[in-house]
Amino acid sequence: MRLLLISNSTNPGEAYLDYPKQSIKDFLGEKSLNAVFIPYAAVTFSYDEYEEKVNARFAEIGHHVTGIHRFINPVEAVENADAIVVGGGNTWQLVKKLQEKKLMKVIRKKVKQGAPYIGWSAGSNIACPTLRTTNDMPIVEPKKFKTLRLVPFQINPHYLDDNPANHGGETREMRIQEFIEVNRNVYVVGLREGTLLRIENNDLTLTGPRTARIFKYGDETKELSHKDDFNFLINSVLK
């Protein structure tokens, strides 16, 4: 499989998808591909607007996407695609739409066959076994929490260390500690802003200026950089 799993689309003060655009170009290559874009995580803006926003950045790297909402048969659109791109937004909404359109299995099959997969935020969430480490409010109710299961670990995009002043609630780390307490065999990657995970030929690497925080029940929490070996994550067994 070939996966590019991005924490966030935009860093403060930068244009949309600016920081990961070179990584996206390197991942997709120079040749323009038939890339299908899945905008279902959008809630407060239209799918057309989302597609246009992504294409404005992809044009700079010689690529183009077509929103899956433009196809009469979305299943066939995925089956015929050269690459699959899944945008961020609300993970619950994204999962519900993918289930309704019967796209989970066909996307998984296509990626398992070698089609490149790019996701950011919610799009990274759904590459995991479930959506249970999303930060998003459950504004809709999908049929089940299971997602694409392209990797055996969970990702928490936009991972934050800070506990804002005057905030009395749990930190992100405390929430993840709750998750691993009741899901003891599952690794969770706290993927900070400006970073991404790339999988090529069963090799997992981190790109970006920040470290990733690795959680696993019974293990000491780790901070790993782009210099470290991440392959223990893809070799972990999902039970």
pLDDT digits over 29-88, tens only?
A: 999 899 999 999 999 999 999 999 999 999 999 999 999 999 999 999 999 999 999 999
Is the torsion defined by CA of 25, 30, 32, 36 positive or negative?
A: negative
Pick from 133, 130, 136: which is nearest to 152 by CA?
130
Question: Would you state the pLDDT for residue 170?
Answer: 79
Q: Are 188 and 169 in contact (CB under 8 A)?
A: no
CATH topology of domain 2-234: Rossmann fold (3.40.50)
Task: Report residue 173's pLDDT band, with 50, 70 and 90 as the boundaries.
Answer: very high
Q: Which residues pair with 5 in a beta bridge?
A: 119, 197
Question: Would you state the pLDDT for residue 167?
Answer: 63
Q: Which residues are catalytically annotated? A: 121, 136, 158
> H or E element: which one contains 192?
strand 188-192
pTM reported for the whole predicted model: 0.95
Q: b/e string for 85-96 if b means 16 or more Cβ within 10 A?
A: bbbbbbbbbbbb
- Residue 55 tokens, joined: 């294409």
Q: What is the Cα–Cα distance from 117 to 198, expressed in whole angstroms?
A: 10
Does residue 20 surpass a pLDDT of 70? yes
Provide the 8-state DSSP code for 237.
Answer: P
Of all residues in the chain, the percent with pLDDT exceeding 90 is: 91
Mean pLDDT of all residues in 191-200: 97
- Average model confidence (pLDDT) for the chain? 95
Give residue limits of the domains in the chain: 2-234
Sequence-separated (6 or more) residues with CB below 8 Å from residue 44: none
Does residue 21 surpass a pLDDT of 90? yes
